[in-house]
Amino acid sequence: MKIYIGGLYSGTSPQPGIGLSRSLRTAYPGAYLIGVEYSNRSSGIHWPGFDDIWLQRPWEELDLSTYARSITALLDDGALWIPGTDLEALWLASVFPSGHPSLLSPPHVALNRTSKPEVAAHVGLPVDIPPYISTDEPDWDLHAFCRKHNWRVWLKGPYYEAYRVQSWDSLERVRAGLSRLWHTQRLFIQSHVSGYEESVMLCAYNGELLDAVSMRKRELTEEGKTWAGDVTPLTDDFAAPLREIIRALNWTGGAELEMVRDSQGKRWLLEWNPRFPAWMHGATLAGFNLPALLVESATGIPAEITKVTSEEFTRVVLEIPLRDGYPLPPLPEPYSGSFGHSLKHPSGMPTLAGRLHTLDQEMNQRQSPSLGRPSQKGTSANGRGNLVPTSFLNDLSTQDLNNLDTPSFVFLESTAALLFEKASAFAAAVTTSEQQILNAYSIKTNPDARLLKLALKAGFLAEAISLLEVQKAIEIGWRPENIILNGPGKWWPQGLLPDASLHAIFCDSMADLTRVTTAAEDGRLHAKVFGVRLRLPTSSRFGISIEGPDGLHALVDSIAKFPKDSLFGVHFHMASSSVGVGQWWHLYESMLRWSSSLERLSGRRIDVLDIGGGWFPDDWDSVREPEFMEALKRAKPFLPNVSEVISEPGKAMAQPSMALAMRVLEVQKMTDAPTEAVVDGSIAELPMYFFYPHRILHHNSQTGDLKPIRRGTTRLMGRLCMEHDEVASGVELPEGTRAGDMLIFCDAGGYDRSMSYLFGRG
């Protein structure tokens, strides 16, 4: 019996070849085992369990047609072949779409049904698929997905590799790297599931499930790979539907279903790998020799019985002598300034991926048919992200864009007005006789007088973080009694504090609290509401720390110093756009619990709750009505005496209200690299480029048409002589775009505007 075994890489993310040789040797001591590899850097070629090694040239050199003919001849001759990598299995499926009796690997159609992230074949198994979204979707939707999942997300390659991304700029960076490596833009983002990792390994022949086992990872490498585990038989609730699925797929070969079990015991399927896992020999030690069962079924030659030695296994690191005739190759010289020598993908696996795309155009669909359409479970609605709200277009149509100096911000007046009107109407609608709901506008998000006037007109309070902002609010027309003063530097600069009573003052530290209560006691400071901002453990740099019981004790004692004839309030602001919507709600409830403790321990009633901060406009839109009501409802049992709730949506009011217009200065098309265009805007006008994507419109100066720009491969570089001045990457400029054309970056009315700075203008 001659068996060819692939996947001999044996680094910290090993392939199954060595395990296969050990398990098969147990069952077939006399079998002739030949290891197949594509690089002499794969240390598994030296494993003594192989009788011979068939070392091919790396995938980037291999003539696939010639190689396919060689394998066909071997299989026709009766040799068995067990692939050890996903890509080898994919390629073999393209060579043998209906399989081959000696090829112990799944057919083409089965791979189609098990590709990630959708894993269409999973239906019926007691698992769910974590929410995901294809990077084919507009960036606007990708950002929404990440916010929705609290930035606990993974960016995953089409076959291998996954990177945790926690911010927009890291997502952009990883996406560019993975796309380059795997020769595809088709990546996906998947929500993280916290829990314990476990797998199901199976083997099947011609659609008959031969056996399957469960394995729980008991030790993991830094990359999350198995280092130790325990193996048990598969329970019937899993095995029964799996048997049906395997039959429907007509599966042949090994497979591994990788899962995470969350704290409620629910299993989430991450991947269905079309090959045996590298830990498979651990199952053999537990008496489950699945490779032997597979060979037994394929050949009819009985395997020797595998004894149970341990149902728990671990890995160790071993030094072994080299196989005669395969000396170590020299290490490539490191690039100047780089560190170390990577052993990753020594066989040229990424090149194989690229070649498969070229060889078989269908492969794009096969690798993940689910990636070509919007996610069922993500936030995406088909193409929604490319759609710019009609009010933006209406506002832009009133501008003389052809004669606009660029770069410049364009105020979207009716868009802004509508935002304030809606917020005002909402506050009025939810106000009751027991509880008044007030809106507040955060001046720092954009102190443009037009926005401030709209806020004032809509009945907003003004929220200031400095006395300069207080003065600005007064200039616009706010009375001091409608101004909230907040933040760590609110008394700066000295001498600008109005004599009249403010609406609210929230203390940001114990020192601030002492200053405020002393000034109030002396009659130098007046406000309707005095209160505190709490710094919840692990959440923020702002607010009064309650890191230890002593901190809480000091705060409880100090609350008694606030004027008795004023109301007492708690202020909670957290940027939901950076912590994620779910985490914001958790922190909100956490704040309610702390506030309830404060009320109970200090005996001081909490009358006012100031909540909000940093909402992404879309999140605020979706939250405003049902969830704000939910927020009020949740607060009731914790703080039953609150008579005033101040809602401060932060940048949600300002961000949509302005766009940044810039012009193309130069377009450089290159044959072997992405197109590059230079614009007269820059990160000096768009400093939030690193934090979230902006929807971009192309203005046709001839027709006046405004068209959304889609994803592509063009880089838009700013005018500054700064390496990091890139205002967009991976966009598709319309055909014929040339110097002088205008691009309009929407969603630039918040911190883009207020934090923009003068640079490179002489």
Interface contacts to another protein, rule CB under 8 A = 22, 25-27, 29, 48-49, 150, 152, 194, 205, 208-211, 232-233, 262-265, 281, 284-288, 293, 296-297, 300, 302-312, 318-321, 536-539, 546, 548-550, 552-553, 556, 580, 582-583, 586-587, 589-590, 593-594, 597, 600-601
730: closest CA among 292, 287, 179, 267? 179
Least separation in angstroms between CB 641 and another protein? 18
- Per the CB < 8 A criterion, the answer to whether 15 and 43 are in contact is no
Nearest residue (CB) to another protein, 159 versus 616: 616
Least separation in angstroms between CB 191 and another protein? 11
Least separation in angstroms between CB 417 and another protein? 36
Least separation in angstroms between CB 304 and another protein? 4
Least separation in angstroms between CB 586 and another protein? 5
Distance of CA 683 to the CA centre of its chain: 24
Least separation in angstroms between CB 384 and another protein? 25
Least separation in angstroms between CB 427 and another protein? 28
Least separation in angstroms between CB 131 and another protein? 14
Nearest residue (CB) to another protein, 24 versus 654: 24
Using DSSP's 3-state secondary structure scheme, residue 527 falls into strand
Provide Rg for the chain, Cα atoms.
32
Give the Cα separation of 153 and 302 in Å (integer). Answer: 47
**Residue length, the chain?**
762
Least separation in angstroms between CB 2 and another protein? 16
- 597: how many CB neighbours lie within 10 A of its CB? 14
Nearest residue (CB) to another protein, 28 versus 409: 28
**Which H helix or E strand runs over 382?**
none
Strand arrangement of the beta sheet that strand 32-37 belongs to: 52-55, 32-37, 2-6, 80-82
Nearest residue (CB) to another protein, 207 versus 674: 207
Nearest residue (CB) to another protein, 307 versus 738: 307
Q: C-alpha dihedral over 152, 156, 161, 162, to 10 degrees? A: 0
Could you tell me the two tokens for 112?
Answer: 């189609």
Give the Cα separation of 70 and 166 in Å (integer). Answer: 47
Paired with 505 in beta bridges are 485, 530
313: closest CA among 232, 234, 254? 232
Least separation in angstroms between CB 220 and another protein? 13
Nearest residue (CB) to another protein, 230 versus 726: 230
Least separation in angstroms between CB 50 and another protein? 9
Q: For 627-756, list the strands marked E by DSSP.
A: 644-648, 658-668, 676-679, 696-699, 706-708, 710-717, 726-732, 742-745
Nearest residue (CB) to another protein, 70 versus 235: 235
**β pairing state of 644-648 and 726-732:** unpaired
Least separation in angstroms between CB 297 and another protein? 5
461: closest CA among 649, 311, 310? 649
Nearest residue (CB) to another protein, 25 versus 116: 25
Nearest residue (CB) to another protein, 161 versus 599: 599
Nearest residue (CB) to another protein, 334 versus 537: 537
Nearest residue (CB) to another protein, 295 versus 502: 295
Q: Name the residue type at position 57.
A: R
Using DSSP's 3-state secondary structure scheme, residue 45 falls into helix
Give the Cα separation of 83 and 80 in Å (integer). Answer: 10
Give the Cα separation of 246 and 249 in Å (integer). Answer: 5
Class of residue 199 by CB neighbours under 10 A (exposed 0-12, middle 13-18, buried 19+): buried
- 64: how many CB neighbours lie within 10 A of its CB? 15
Q: What is the DSSP letter of 759?
A: -
Least separation in angstroms between CB 405 and another protein? 47
Nearest residue (CB) to another protein, 12 versus 235: 235
Nearest residue (CB) to another protein, 128 versus 311: 311
Give the Cα separation of 457 and 484 in Å (integer). Answer: 17
Least separation in angstroms between CB 601 and another protein? 6
Q: Burial letters for 18-48: b for 16+ Cβ neighbours within 10 Å, e otherwise?
A: bbbbbbbbbbbeebebbbbbbbbbbbbbbbe
Give the Cα separation of 51 and 437 in Å (integer). Answer: 79
Nearest residue (CB) to another protein, 453 versus 600: 600
CA quadruple 202, 203, 209, 213: dihedral positive or negative?
negative
Q: What is the 3-state secondary structure (H, E, C) of 590-609?
A: HHHHHHHHHHHHHCCCCCEE
- Per the CB < 8 A criterion, the answer to whether 392 and 659 are in contact is yes
Q: Which residue is associated with the tokens 């594509």?
A: 38
Nearest residue (CB) to another protein, 235 versus 394: 235
Least separation in angstroms between CB 47 and another protein? 9
Phi, psi of 475 (to 5 degrees): -60, -40
Nearest residue (CB) to another protein, 587 versus 659: 587
Least separation in angstroms between CB 8 and another protein? 15
Phi, psi of 95 (to 5 degrees): -80, -40
Least separation in angstroms between CB 152 and another protein? 8
Could you tell me the two tokens for 482?
Answer: 């409608």
**Which H helix or E strand runs over 33?**
strand 32-37
Could you tell me the two tokens for 488?
Answer: 């760590």
Q: How many CA atoms lie within 13 A of 14 on its CB side?
A: 25
Nearest residue (CB) to another protein, 560 versus 739: 560
615: closest CA among 574, 670, 559, 672? 574
End-to-end CA distance of the chain: 80
